[in-house]
Amino acid sequence: MKTKKIAVLFSSNGSNLEAIIKKLHNKRFNGTKIKISLLICNNKNAFGIVRARKYGLETTIISHEDFTCRQEFDKVLVEKIKSANVDLVVLAGFMRILTPVFCDNVRAINLHPSILPLFKGANAIKESFQSDMQIGGVSVHWVSSELDSGKIIAQRSFKRKNRDFKAWEKKIHAIEHKILPKTIIKLLCK
């Protein structure tokens, strides 16, 4: 049986990280075991660190504030990821704009809370809710050096109905917790 190793990068709450841990870590799919072998967070106060510890996983903290530029931060990320010899890097709420130093050297996917190419960036949930769009949704895409513009791997949408902002956000997170693990399985366990 082969094992595929992943690294998960996150910045805050870690609900998508926990979904990945619960659904994938040390589990087998089509004869392939998926193992989370590296967790990186850029925020020492992120609740995701507590979530990971609950499952016996420790997080490496690499604070972007310790670096004078994005490229230096990305270089250290790449070195850490390369040393872990992972098959795939998963950005699960990693709130950093990454440079080509990262994007050109790491095979990574990103989870984004909108139907791309619409509503790129950090305020996608709010912007999609405030738009006239009659659907919302989630995208998983390959990471590229252009923000939220890599090739789309998977998308799921839902109808607006009469959702208020809180219900809109809750629906997006529910879809995220399903689509990201399914996409990882699809990519690693063919």
CB 105, CB 25: distance < 8 Å: no
Known binding positions: 14-16, 70, 95-98, 110
Known binding-site residues for (6R)-10-formyltetrahydrofolate equal: 70, 95-98, 110
CA distances from 115 to 2, 47, 76, 154, 169 (A): 34, 27, 31, 10, 14
Tell me if residue 117 falls in helix, strand or coil: coil
Other beta carbons within 10 angstroms of residue 17's beta carbon come to 30
Cα–Cα distances in angstroms (integers) from residue 17 to residues 9, 25, 37, 49, in the given order = 8, 10, 13, 10
Residue tagged active-site, from 25, 112, 141, 177:
112
Please tell me the distance from the alpha carbon of residue 159 to that of residue 133, in angstroms, as a whole number: 9
How many CB atoms lie under 10 A from the CB of residue 122?
Answer: 12
Q: How far apart are CA 174 and CA 156, in angstroms?
A: 11
Active site residue 112: yes
Query: Catalytic site residues?
Result: 112
